[in-house]
């Protein structure tokens, strides 16, 4: 990797600014954290920094979308401080401000690797605009910057790209690991490389499909997006999800991907979106009045066969509406196939596929689960990620 990592920088006695991803899911009723995986994912970097004896570690993160005063109240980052404190086993000082005297004084007076958590970066209107003044101001609070929020590196924000434009910088262990896994899979994979793409829309994955058609040995397509491909091939799709304006694009992908694009050959269909409809197996065509909500048993068999012998697999997007039990079989089957692949590097590209792997109990049987849905997708497209590009080269 050509970017500096935290092992390449000296932080002893310094104030370290660290961008983490504490955008944790919370209960709508109580506001309490329902899953602290993102906090846990940041611990190796924070603990390593503590061991190096800095003056202070100042943590920046966003939480949710902040457009109104109501959003501010709802997305107050204070909820994370006790959770982080528990995991670190040491005090975390939460500062209910994103700039000003209270924050500056807390940082100035900090000693002995004091961990300081700054209020939600999106409280600042200039955050998402990458306001140069804001990036410069935040950078002025520290001596060195560490980027460890992979879920945010595809955004050119003040806290991801603005701070490192003004300070010596390095990536933390989480970002280093993501670059190592996804970067290697896309740029220098052990072959055969098989990509599995699911999810609802072709439009979400256009760039990924275009890039992977040049890179992968096979691309398996499932999820709602496969019905646009089915329509492009002349099949009936009933009321299944369709992006009418993407049919010609799907045709061009089918043409370009001859021999490497693998599409479903049957579906699990229902006349209702829900568990209480008339659910049945359909072939390549979905009957009128029905919608395809999962891949069918023949497709499961086909996909398992196409995965045999793969040495690198990247998976992004579920095969069906896996949250509903009758339409989870396709996604479960992909989880099982990946879990049983001998000697393969299996990478789950964040988002819904990561949620599925964890929810279905396969997390410890794959090589890597990405912490960034959008970031991993853009990385798979071959795009430059601003939050990584801004980090100092070795």
- Residues with catalytic annotation? 38, 201, 351, 374
* CA separation for the pair 56, 105 (Å, rounded): 12
Separation of alpha carbons 12 and 6, rounded Å: 12
Buried b or exposed e, range 348-371, using 16+ CB within 10 angstroms = bbbbbbbbbbeebebeeebebbbb
> Phi then psi for 261, rounded to 5 degrees?
-90, 115
d(CA 375, CA 383): 9
84/94 Cα distance (integer angstroms): 11
Please give the Cα distance from 341 to 190 (Å, whole number): 14
- What kind and span of H or E run contains 379? helix 373-380
CA distance readout (Å), 18 to 42, 117, 155, 226, 277:
10, 10, 16, 40, 50
**Residues 34-41: contacts with CB within 8 Å, 24+ apart?**
36/83, 36/87, 37/358, 37/371, 38/151, 38/371, 39/80, 39/83, 39/84, 39/87, 40/87, 41/174, 41/371
CA distance 168 to 124: 23
Cis bond upstream, residue 281 (ω within 30):
no
């Amino acid at each position: 990797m050509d970017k500096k990592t935290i092992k390449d920088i000296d932080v002893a006695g310094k104030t370290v600014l660290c961008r983490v991803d504490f955008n944790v899911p919370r209960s709508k009723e109580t506001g309490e954290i329902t899953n602290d995986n993102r906090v846990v994912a940041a611990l190796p970097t924070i603990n390593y920094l503590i061991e190096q004896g800095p003056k202070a570690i100042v943590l920046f993160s966003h939480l949710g979308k902040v457009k109104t005063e109501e959003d501010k109240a709802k997305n107050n980052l204070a909820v994370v401080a006790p959770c982080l404190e528990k995991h670190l086993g040491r005090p975390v000082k939460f500062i209910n401000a994103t700039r000003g005297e209270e924050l500056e004084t807390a940082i100035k007076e900090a000693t002995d690797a004091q961990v300081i958590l700054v209020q939600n970066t999106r409280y600042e209107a200039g955050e998402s605009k990458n306001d140069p003044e804001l990036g410069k101001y935040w950078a002025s609070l520290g001596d060195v910057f560490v980027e460890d929020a992979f879920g945010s590196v595809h955004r050119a924000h003040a806290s991801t790209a603005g701070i490192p434009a003004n300070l010596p910088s390095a990536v933390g262990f989480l970002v280093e690991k993501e670059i190592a896994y996804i970067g290697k899979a896309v740029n220098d994979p052990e072959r055969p490389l098989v990509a599995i793409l699911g999810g609802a829309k072709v439009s979400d994955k256009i760039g990924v499909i275009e890039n992977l058609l040049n890179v992968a040995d096979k691309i398996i397509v499932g999820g709602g997006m496969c019905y646009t491909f089915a329509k492009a091939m002349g099949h009936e799709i009933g009321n299944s999800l369709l992006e009418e304006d993407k049919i010609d694009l799907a045709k061009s992908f089918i043409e370009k991907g001859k021999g490497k694009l693998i599409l479903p050959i049957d579906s699990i269909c229902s006349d209702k979106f829900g568990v209480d409809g008339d659910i049945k197996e359909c072939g390549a065509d979905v009957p009128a009045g029905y919608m395809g909500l999962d891949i069918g048993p023949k497709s499961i068999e086909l996909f398992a066969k196409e995965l045999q012998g793969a040495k690198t697999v990247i998976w992004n997007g579920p095969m069906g509406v896996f949250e509903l039990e009758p339409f989870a079989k396709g996604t479960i089957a992909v989880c099982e196939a990946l879990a049983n692949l001998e000697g393969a590097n299996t990478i789950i590209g964040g988002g819904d596929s990561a949620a599925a792997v964890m929810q279905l109990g396969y997390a410890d049987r794959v090589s890597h689960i990405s912490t960034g849905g959008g970031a991993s997708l853009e990385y798979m497209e071959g795009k430059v990620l601003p939050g990584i590009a801004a980090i100092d080269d070795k």
